[in-house]
Chain A
Amino acid sequence: MSDKLIFEHSRSGRRASAQAPLAATANDLPEKFLRRSPPLLPEVSELQTVRHYTRLSQKNFSIDTHFYPLGSCTMKYNPRACNQLAMLPGFLARHPLGPESHGQGFMSCMYELQEMLKAVTGMKEVSLTPMAGAQGEFAGVAMIRAYHRSRNDNDRNEILVPDAAHGTNPATATMCGYSTREIPTGKNGDVDIEALKAAVGPQTAGIMLTNPSTVGVFDRSIQEMSRIVHSAGGLLYYDGANLNAILGKVAPGDMGFDVIHMNLHKTFSTPHGGGGPGSGAVGVGDRLKEFLPLPVVGKDGDRYRWLTEADFPQSIGRLSAFMGNAGVLLRAYVYMRLLGRKGMERVSENAALGANYLMKKLQDAGFELAYPERRASHEFIVTLKKEKSELGVTAMDFAKCLLDHGYHAPTTYFPLLVPECLLIEPTECEAKEDLDGFVAAMIAIREQAKTDPEKVKGAPYTMPVRRLDDVRAARQLDLRWQPGAEN
């Protein structure tokens, strides 16, 4: 990787005139708050800056350039129209502290977004403020805790989480002061009901479920699970990361869930590369309405207004400045309006069609499925344990090789209960040729592993960097660049 850091282009006194600082105008700052040395910023020309970041962007492996079947993440196309409309001048120039009367247009979009999300999930109220799936989870479990407390039901200290769950689920329960108990997954991919029955009790505050689950199947015993947990006094949390699979078909509210988060950046197609910004809007049933995070947009007659602590005195509070990631919310709103109700059904139908087509093709090509007797929801798991024992190449080797073939790797080693797994989610956006191309690449990699396994283990060869040392990256977290230091 020959590229320099932006700091390494820096020469003292060089500047981009468009960004040059104005003469200091704030001269009333107390002396003790003034800095003694200038901040460490790169001194580069405008052209150098443009070139530097354009070059970096050209190295991106992105949805705009490559097929990106990263399971559980729903890396679907972000329609240009959503960007364009979310960037209308009226939205961009709106000041969040401006009076309600100046923001009626924006507020009407947020209100309608709340209404559409209610309709599509079957929940009773929605708050848009959490800024990522994980923050939505935090809001949801905080509401579960607030609910039990409001009833003086204070001995519930445990959240149940299936072993296939995303790591943010147990992390959320822990952040909310609960201990977690793991429920095993049965051989067919559904949660082990007997184990669930044995685990629930007066200590159960709730259960966090993902349905379709992270193994890519719709859990058929959801109604029984709902009955078991509710009759023990616990609540049901729905992790909406896989909402894409059931959009317009089944509603979590009808499955018995009390609270849900939706990763708008997945199902409703807002950009989410590189960790954000996202949106983890939450929806609740009747039991949890009082506790929603604020603000929520309300409507009196034909006027929109912010609902605050005065309307929801038992709210769990605020999780973001103002309205959360307003630009992301607007993109999701436009996406939903462009699709309409019928369009949403087509999303889940085509997502399921693409996943099942790809699954069958890979199975026909001799790859082993983790749950061969199940239909894929919108994603599925291939296990490469045979390739590992017979050819000595791992799921990670396949993943790196796929990059050289022009495909982003699927999710690897998650969920961990399936050995050498690839969690593959094609989304509804891909053409048949691209799915076929992916299968051909998988076959080519396996052929190469038979004749030249070392070559496969050395991949990637065509990327800006070779195989990264992920162990060292996790063990040595210090990444600070310092001038003059050996970096």
Chain B
Amino acid sequence: MSNVPADLKYSSDHEWVRVEDDGSAVVGITDHAQGALGDLVFVEAPEPGSVFASGEAFGVVESVKAASDMLCPFGGEVLGVNSALDDTPELVNTDPYGDGWLIRMQPADTTELDGLMDAAAYEQFLEEA
């Protein structure tokens, strides 16, 4: 079974979201997603300052099996990206909830975060998939 930390929120596209004290939100892909993709070889991140709507593709993760779009779990502005992934994309595999985080965003509308799943709901979602 893949690891689903209790303190995060989750999207149906297998992204996790952690809301910080300053109101910003960190986004990554879940342990399940990294496992399904396999070893990552490339992560394409957006420019800080770009603005995305909920559901819009903000970047691409590429593994030896496939390239997949990463979809914004909520709308907002990109505050920062994890530049360590340029040279070491494998961090997403080894530490998806920690050093393998993808981007930090400022949510435009925090009510969009309420639509995300909690850990229990995401585990249920994985079970049914």
A positions within 8 Å CB-CB of B: 167, 182, 413-414, 416, 419, 470-471, 474-475
- Which residue of A167, A182, A470, A475 contacts B66 across the interface (Cβ within 8 Å)? A167
- Which residue of A182, A416, A475 contacts B65 across the interface (Cβ within 8 Å)? A416
In whole angstroms, what is the CA distance A124 to B41 when docked?
43
Shortest Cβ gap from B41 to chain A (Å): 4
B41 CB contacts on chain A under 8 angstroms = 471, 474-475
For chain B, which range describes its interface: under 10, 10 to 19, 20 to 34, or 35 or more residues? 10 to 19
- Known contacts A413-B65, A416-B65, A416-B68; can you find 14 more A-B pairs with CB under 8 A? A167-B67, A182-B69, A413-B66, A414-B65, A414-B66, A416-B66, A419-B36, A470-B64, A471-B39, A471-B64, A474-B41, A474-B42, A474-B64, A475-B41
Query: Closest chain A residue to B71 by CB distance?
Result: A182
Shortest Cβ gap from A159 to chain B (Å): 14
A413 CB contacts on chain B under 8 angstroms = 38, 65-66
A471 CB contacts on chain B under 8 angstroms = 39, 41, 64
Q: Can you list 12 contacts pairing A with B, beta carbon distance less than 8 Å?
A: A167-B67, A182-B69, A413-B65, A414-B65, A416-B65, A416-B66, A416-B68, A419-B36, A470-B64, A471-B41, A474-B41, A475-B41
B positions within 8 Å CB-CB of A: 36, 38-39, 41-42, 64-69, 89
A182 CB contacts on chain B under 8 angstroms = 69
Query: Closest chain B residue to A471 by CB distance?
Result: B39
B38 CB contacts on chain A under 8 angstroms = 413
In whole angstroms, what is the CA distance A417 to B6 when docked?
27
Shortest Cβ gap from A445 to chain B (Å): 20
B64 CB contacts on chain A under 8 angstroms = 470-471, 474
Shortest Cβ gap from A419 to chain B (Å): 7
Shortest Cβ gap from A26 to chain B (Å): 45
Shortest Cβ gap from A165 to chain B (Å): 12
Name, among A167, A413, A470, A475, the residue most crowded by chain B CB atoms within 10 Å (CB to CB): A475
Shortest Cβ gap from B120 to chain A (Å): 22
In whole angstroms, what is the CA distance A475 to B38 when docked?
13
Shortest Cβ gap from B21 to chain A (Å): 35
Query: Closest chain B residue to A394 by CB distance?
Result: B38
Shortest Cβ gap from B14 to chain A (Å): 13
In whole angstroms, what is the CA distance A451 to B67 when docked?
35
A167 CB contacts on chain B under 8 angstroms = 66-67
In whole angstroms, what is the CA distance A416 to B37 when docked?
9
Query: Closest chain B residue to A179 by CB distance?
Result: B57
Shortest Cβ gap from B44 to chain A (Å): 12
B89 CB contacts on chain A under 8 angstroms = 475
Shortest Cβ gap from B56 to chain A (Å): 10
Shortest Cβ gap from A333 to chain B (Å): 36
B68 CB contacts on chain A under 8 angstroms = 416
Query: Closest chain A residue to B93 by CB distance?
Result: A471
Shortest Cβ gap from B52 to chain A (Å): 13
In whole angstroms, what is the CA distance A169 to B65 when docked?
16
A414 CB contacts on chain B under 8 angstroms = 65-66
B67 CB contacts on chain A under 8 angstroms = 167
Shortest Cβ gap from B59 to chain A (Å): 14
In whole angstroms, what is the CA distance A419 to B39 when docked?
15
Query: Closest chain B residue to A412 by CB distance?
Result: B65
In whole angstroms, what is the CA distance A414 to B66 when docked?
8
In whole angstroms, what is the CA distance A470 to B62 when docked?
13
Shortest Cβ gap from B61 to chain A (Å): 12
Shortest Cβ gap from B49 to chain A (Å): 20
